[in-house]
């Protein structure tokens, strides 16, 4: 986690605090709380989006009056990274084209790295190509 970028101190603190509340420390929980911590509004409303007692997401929270176009994107990505969730008949709102058109996109990429660390390793530096003579 040391190489993951947080948006600000509040984002990092939210992530750490909620991971301590969880029963499990796995890539699903880490990605969920990382992404949900990106926006102030999602941090403030985490209890309407996640049930700590049952360790489950709360899709009903997606329709809270506090939601904005940006926070909906945060929640959509967090839910999708949790378990592949996409609201029935609204699947198109869970696509990269819809999600990444916002200010949170760089942090969304970080959330994907948290969820899929085995696939998001740094690539080796390409070898310098030498000029071939003809």
Span 79-110, pLDDT tens digits: 999 999 888 888 887 888 888 888 899 999 99
Identify the band that residue 131 occupies on the pLDDT scale cut at 50, 70 and 90.
low
Q: Which two tokens stand for residue 49?
A: 């989006």
- Please state the rounded mean pLDDT for residues 7-29: 95
Q: Which two tokens stand for residue 56?
A: 């489950």
pTM: 0.86
Considering only CA atoms, which of 93, 48, 89 is closest in space to residue 66? Answer: 48
| CA–CA distance, 97 with 134 (Å, rounded to integer) | 45
Whether the pLDDT of residue 133 is over 60: the answer is no
């Amino acid at each position: 986690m040391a190489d993951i970028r947080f948006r600000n101190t509040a984002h990092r603190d939210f992530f750490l605090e909620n991971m301590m509340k969880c029963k499990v420390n796995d890539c699903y929980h880490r990605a969920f709380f990382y992404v949900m911590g990106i926006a102030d509004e999602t941090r403030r409303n985490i209890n309407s989006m996640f049930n700590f007692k049952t360790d489950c997401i709360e899709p009903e929270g997606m329709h809270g009056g506090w939601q904005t176009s940006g926070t909906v994107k945060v929640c959509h990505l967090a839910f999708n990274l949790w378990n592949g969730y996409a609201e029935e008949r609204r699947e198109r709102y869970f696509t990269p084209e819809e999600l990444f058109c916002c200010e949170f996109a760089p942090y969304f990429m970080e959330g994907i790295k948290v969820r899929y660390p085995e696939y998001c390793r740094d690539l080796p530096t390409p070898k310098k190509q030498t000029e071939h003579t003809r």
